[in-house]
Structure 1
Amino acid sequence: MSDFNNQQVAKLPKHLRQFIVEQHYEKYTPIDQAVWRYVMRQNYSYLKHVAYYPYIKGLQRAGLSIEYIPDLQTMNDNLGKIGWGAVTVDGFIPPAAFMEYQAYRVLVIAADIRQINHIEYTPAPDIIHESAGHAPIIADTDYNNYLSYFGSIGAKAMFSSKDFELYEAIRKLSILKEAVDGDEEEIAQAEKTLRHIADNMGEPSEMALLGRLHWWTVEYGLIGTLENPKIYGAGLLSSIGESATCMNPDVKKIWYNIDTINYQYDITKPQPQLFVTPTFQNLIDVLEAFADTMAFRRGGAESILKAIECKNPSTAVYSSGLQLTGIFTDVGLNQADELTFIKTTGPSALAFAGKQLNGHGKDYHADGFSSPVGKLKGIAKALEDHSLTELEQIGIAEGQEANLTFESGIDVVGIVKEILIENGKLILIAFEDCTVKESNGNILFKPEWGTYDMAIGEKIVSVFNGAADKDQYEEIVFVSKEQTHKVTYDEATQKLHILYKKVRSVRENQTGYEELETIFNELKTAHRADWLCALEILEIVFHKNLDTDFEKELRIYLEMKAAAEPDHAKLINDGLHVIANPVTQLITEED
């Protein structure tokens, strides 16, 4: 997979690279290119009034144009100048992976483009949303700092097992809705399934709450004042329908603050309210306030319980700095609800400062890991703060039997095999011929089970999603089996592609104008459902003053089509408006 000569893409670890797909630029059809051009012309015509930043300048800095679907290499050449990169993926990817890409300052762009019948809005991620929505504002330093910082926080967020179900349901529905041959019954069933899961999520996880903050800022955010806000959210910037309607008074505008996490969202419907931030710094302040409530900053029993509910690999960090990765399944608690021990089941690994400890990978700890948490009884100083000399004074030395009793009542008796110190902190003691038991006599470890590796730490100070050393742990981030549908075009559609290609050639090469009437006649007879190609022909005829009668015929055809086809009326009328108010002229005015 190419790095596009982009430093940010080159830094991506292998567990993120598994989501990257080739763009295959050649697969975009002439209709796809026309859809891009129509949306971008509409966007600019309207967004020049309501977007937070100069839209065209933002597009140019990101390597985008109004005329063509962006090429990933061109985007990376331009984004690289501002410290960002871009890759293409297959539709929705899991939230944790999406966040981590942001932390690496890499935009995730869905390789597909919406169908013409979803030109105003698509529930599926597509290249219009991801590139034309997210990329232009990346040049704003305050905003891109927020985006990457959000990613670094989000990558640590704990999720629930229900979040996986919801992700799969959303992905499946978005794929079905965007499919050319989508089955209405299947779509209805998918909507019902999604609604059932969404209505029975229980207490929202950290990832779910962060998802709300992300939605109401990165996707649907407004900035400025309640009376005169500007759009910066990519979901609005890439939806030619909702970017216009969102400014209506019936869409409530609310100041963005920490209370925003209480507002759920539905990706399949227009938003009933939007949130306005006075500055991008306010976004970071709200994110900081929420991050202070998260397991990676709080630690303790509450955070381990979140890891147990997750049912997927998480990492607990001891106060010594030792990191334990695995699927957490049990804890011990004292009367004050403080941790006395923690346990993982199945492949586990130990790390320090994000690097796996030699000999302590998931093959060695294949059956799980458990260890006490806390202080030794009668010793005020935390065990991790003891030097080798101080350890000897309390009976802990390599080759000698040690008898340790924790404040929780857990007893560890065995021969010390190895003492491991990292960065001045004792992090691990390995025992042979070891017995570990609780004060009630319950056996936690027996000598015949082999070497007992005892983690050292008075407290668990942090718990976060995923592995400490993801590449060594060979973490397989959840990759959906539900793939986006690949379109096979029938003969009629292939012929329509040819007509679109001819019109583009006439417009760009400024030759072959005489072919336009023939193309229009074929559209009228063989492709009655199409409206966009006729608009493109009218654009050329009008601006080149080619034939007054032909121009009039085109206008009448499109106006009658708008009157007879309610679904196309706004699209056609908006297209006629942009023809009368050329985008090229507007670009010149802005520059």
Structure 2
Amino acid sequence: MKETSGISLDNAAVAATPKHLLQFAVDQRYDDYTLVDHAVWRFIMRQNIFFLKEYAHKVYFQGLLDTGISFERIPRIQEMNDILAKIGWGAVAVDGFIPPAAFMEFQAYKVLVIACDMRQIHHIEYTPAPDIVHEAAGHAPIIVDREYSKYLQRFGEVGAKAMSSKKDFELYQAIRHLSILKEQPNSDPKEIEEATKLVEHRQKHLGDPSEMALLSRLHWWTVEYGLIGPMENPKIYGAGLLSSIGESVSCLEPHVRKIPYSIDAMNQPFDITTKQPQLFVCRDFQHLKDVLEEFASKMAYQVGGLEGVNKAIECNNVATCEYSSGLQVSGVFTEAITDEKNSPVYLRTTGKSALAFGNKELPGHGINYHKEGFGSPIGKWRQTSTRPELLTDNDLRELGIVQGKKTKLEFVSGIVVEGKIDEIVRRDRRLVLITFSNCRTKYGDRILFDPDWGAYDMAVGERISSVFNGAADKDAYNQVALVPKERTIKVPSDAKRKKLENLYAQVRKIRESKTGYERLGEIWETQQAEHPGDWLLSMEIFEILDTIDQQPDLKAKIEKFLNQKKATTKDLSTLIGWGFRLVEYHKRPEYQATLQASPK
């Protein structure tokens, strides 16, 4: 089956994902994976069985089986979707890093984003760029655990509300650019150095971290690099560790500091381009949820008020302020007028704005109507002690607030709204909006709205109860998804590389068909003559010969070659050592049982 799309609309979770998120989806282009790619995948996955069997959280291996992830070949997104659907999740293919807000919102809809690039052979241990090993073999298996699945979705819900800053996005762009360069073949070292300095500069000058920046740290130290269990013997559950052979081995060693997980982890920055000097250990997955809710309780979307409105203004991007009536105002907030108690009494947006309720745009109140901005008072009215949103139609009549009649509303703050009432809007029995014509709105001597400006739509609500990132109804608002313009770079397949890929294909066919063993010597000699720098193909041939216990002379030659590589090439020493240990482990009954249970 050829993979043709990053979107699987027959998966319920994916089908429920809003259009503005699906703009990030790309084709997996499964046929673009080479046999070298599949060999790298196979090596990593089999190493994971070897090492993580003892050190990963107990759900990990069951998760590999339950999510249909093969140890032998790179998974298809469609196949994963079919299996993830059984636990209420889905997956879409994306191109590398996507903006944190979009990543979080996908999680809220129970959709895993899977970067479909495959790390190069010289990045087997670790890659700074997200790839299909990290996403499919790191994130996917752990969500089989019900408590963790709830945590991940809840994190997405909270993260989708988090206020971010322009500097956050600039840092994301710098990190994405650096990760692309580091995974790009034949990158210019000077260019990598300059990109690294840019990341460091933007990290250093981030200023006071936004909600999104702090939440991203909690995400990093749990979902990506988390440990779980007793401090003296924790297990691995973070996807960044599960997908990194090198770091999964080193992370449990004494030189990596282990810290009990708490909300204080939000104060610990991280470097995405290197191994982590410290890790956080949670007691259990409920512990993660408790810390997340502790953080969320202090966020603008739960606190609202002037603090929240100021965060909306500071972010200089589309945000939503929700009145206590439930009316949601979305746009770029530019002003909050406060009273003598420093409480917000009037807010204003500039440029295209929209009104919504329950995250659904109110008819006639989209960006085409409110294209120049929106402004409205906040608070109680002098005429009544009742919260304005709770006033009934009878209450309004007694106050002289009747459609078609002129009225004068005085707010406790001192703001005065005077004009003819054209429309009164309710949602869920709450008063949310009053539209005036020939209206003047004043605060002391300041004119906030003049009759010559047209109809005046006045939001109703005692206070601002919630402030969050983005538009309330993103699809209706037509909020531009910040899809990265810079794309990940594929390894070019020239004639020489295609010959190497053909050798890998031949070895895979021999291994899977269990025939043609007599050709292994010829294949190895060709590899030695034309691709002497490659080591993984030699390891695959060595493994086959050890398994069938044939051609001892050829096996000895290959073993000598690999040991020479191991001794003379620092970067390969650990990998080749692991490869030899894996060949021995391959013979054990427990490995064979695991291999037999895995999808093919």
Q: TM-score range by the shorter chain?
A: over 0.9
Aligned residues of 1:373 and 1:458 also touching (Cα < 8 A): yes
Tell me the equivalent position of 2:260. Answer: 255
Count the aligned residue pairs.
590
Q: Secondary structure at the match of 1:155?
A: helix
The answer to whether the Cα contact below 8 Å between 1:61 and 1:139 also exists between their aligned partners in 2 is: yes
SS in 2 for 1:92: coil
1:324 has 2:329 as partner: yes
Aligned mates of 2:365, 2:10 — CA distance in 1: 35
Q: Distance in 1 between matches of 2:429 and 2:416?
A: 25
1:479 aligns with 2:483: yes
1:362 corresponding residue in structure 2:
367
* Aligned counterpart for 1:95 among listed residues 100, 114, 129: 100
Q: Secondary structure at the match of 1:587?
A: helix
- Structure 2 counterpart SS, 1:534: helix
The answer on whether the counterparts of 2:59 and 2:145 sit within 8 Å (CA) in structure 1 is no
1:185 pairs with one of 183, 186, 190:
190
Instruction: Measure, in 1, the Cα distance between the counterparts of 2:358 and 2:95.
Output: 33
Q: Any conservation in 2 of the 1:102–1:152 contact (CA below 8 Å)?
A: yes
Q: Which runs of 4+ in 1 moved over 4 A?
A: 588-591
Q: Is the 8 A contact 2:8 2:81 kept in 1?
A: no
Match of 1:234 in 2: 239
Report how far residue 54 of structure 1 moved: 5.0
The equivalent residue for 1:489 is 493
| Matches of 2:587 and 2:311, distance apart in 1 | 52
What per-residue deviation string (whole Å, max 9, x for no partner) do you get for residues 477-511 of structure 1? Answer: 21111111133222211111111111111101111
CA contact (8 A) 1:129 1:238 kept: yes
Equivalent residue of 2:367, what SS? Answer: coil
- Write the distance in 2 (CA, Å) between the matches of 1:76 and 1:583: 33
Hey, what does 1:196 align to over in structure 2? 201
Letter in 2 for 1:450: G
Q: Any stretches of 5+ residues in structure 2 without a counterpart?
A: none
Equivalent position of 2:504 in the other structure: 500
CA distance in structure 2 between the aligned counterparts of 1:159 and 1:332, rounded to whole angstroms: 22
Paired with 1:182 and 1:218, the residues of 2 have a C-alpha distance of 30
Query: Which aligned pairs between 1:441-520 and structure 2 lie closer than 5 A?
Result: 441-520=445-524
Q: Which residue of 277, 280, 300 corresponds with 2:305?
A: 300
Q: Contact conserved, 2:383 with 2:399, CA < 8 A, in 1?
A: no
Instruction: Tell me the secondary structure at the aligned position of residue 143 of structure 2.
Output: helix
Separation in 1, partners of 2:283, 2:335: 45
Equivalents in 1 of 2:9, 2:582: separation in Å? 35
The answer to whether the 8 A contact 2:60-2:237 is kept is: no
Q: 1:211 aligns with which of 213, 216, 234?
A: 216
Q: Where does residue 16 of structure 1 map in the other structure?
A: 21
Residue 574 of structure 1 deviates from its aligned partner by 0.7
Aligned counterpart, 1:572: 576
For 1:229-263, what per-residue CA distance to the aligned partner results, in whole angstroms no more than 9, with x for missing partners?
00001000000000000011011111111111111
Question: C-alpha distance in 2, partners of 1:160/1:585?
Answer: 54
Distance in 2, Cα, partners of 1:29 & 1:384? 62
Q: What pairs with 1:364-403 in structure 2 (closer than 5 Å)? A: 364-403=369-408
Task: Please say if residues 499 and 519 of structure 1, whose CA atoms lie closer than 8 Å, have aligned partners that are also in contact.
Answer: yes
Deviation at 1:74, TM superposition (A): 1.3
In 1, the alpha carbon distance for the partners of 2:14 and 2:90 equals 6
Kindly indicate whether the alpha-carbon contact (under 8 Å) linking 1:41 and 1:583 is maintained by their aligned counterparts in 2.
no
Decide whether the 8 Å contact of 1:53 with 1:137 is kept in 2.
no
Determine if the alignment matches structure 1 residue 333 to structure 2 residue 303.
no
**CA 11–417 in structure 1, closer or farther in 2 if over 3 Å, else same:** same
Cα distance in 2 for partners of 1:587, 1:105 equals 32
Secondary structure, aligned partner of 1:100: helix
Paired residue for 1:28, among 17, 29, 33? 33
Pairwise CA distance, 1:121: 0.4
Partners of 2:210 and 2:173 lie apart in 1 by 16
The CA distance in 2 between the partners of 1:154 and 1:57, in whole Å, is: 28
Percent pairwise identity: 53
Given residue 275 of structure 1, which amino acid in structure 2 is its aligned partner?
A: F
Where structure 1 has 5 or more consecutive residues not aligned to the other structure, the ranges are none
Following the alignment from structure 1 to structure 2, what is the Cα–Cα distance between the partners of residues 480 and 245?
Answer: 33
TM-score for the superposition, normalised by structure 1: 0.98
The SS at the match of 2:245 is coil
TM-score of the pair, normalised by structure 2: 0.97
- Do residues 66 (structure 1) and 71 (structure 2) align? yes
Task: Report deviation, 1:588.
Answer: 4.2
Give me the whole-angstrom Cα distance separating, in 2, the residues matched to 1:88 and 1:587: 31
Which of 565, 568, 574 is residue 561 of structure 1 equivalent to?
565
How far did 1:145 drift? Answer: 0.9
| 1:546 corresponds to | 550
Larger deviation, residues 483-492 vs 208-217: 483-492
Q: CA deviation at 1:464?
A: 0.7
What's the CA shift string for 1:520-542, capped at 9, x where partnerless? 11111111110000000101111
Of 388-397 and 41-50, the range deviating more from structure 2: 388-397
* Matching of residue 223 in structure 1 with residue 224 in structure 2: no
Cα deviation for residue 4 of structure 1 reads 5.6
Cα distance in 2 for partners of 1:564, 1:301 equals 63
Q: Match for 1:578: what amino acid?
A: L
Structure 1: how far apart are the matches of 2:335 and 2:137? 47
Contact preservation (8 Å) 2:316, 2:332:
yes
Quick one: distance in 2 between partners of 1:237 and 1:536?
Answer: 23
Residue 79 (1) aligns with residue 79 (2): no
CA distance in 2, matches of 1:178, 1:585: 37
- Structure 2 Cα separation of the partners of residues 242 and 421 of structure 1: 56
In structure 2, C-alpha distance between the alignment counterparts of 1:54 and 1:341, rounded to whole Å: 52
Asked if residue 266 in structure 1 is aligned to residue 290 in structure 2, the reply is: no
> Is 1:120–1:241's contact at 8 Å kept on the other side of the alignment?
yes
Match of 1:113 in 2: 118
| Cα deviation digits, residues 84-138 of structure 1 (max 9, x gap) | 1111100001111111111111111001010111111000000000000011111
Quick one: distance in 1 between partners of 2:281 and 2:393? 57
CA-to-aligned-CA distance 1:394-451 (integer Å, 9 cap, x gap): 2211111111221222111111111112212111111111111111x11111111110
In the TM superposition, residue 565 of structure 1 has moved relative to its aligned partner by 0.8
1: CA distance between counterparts of 2:98 and 2:186? 23
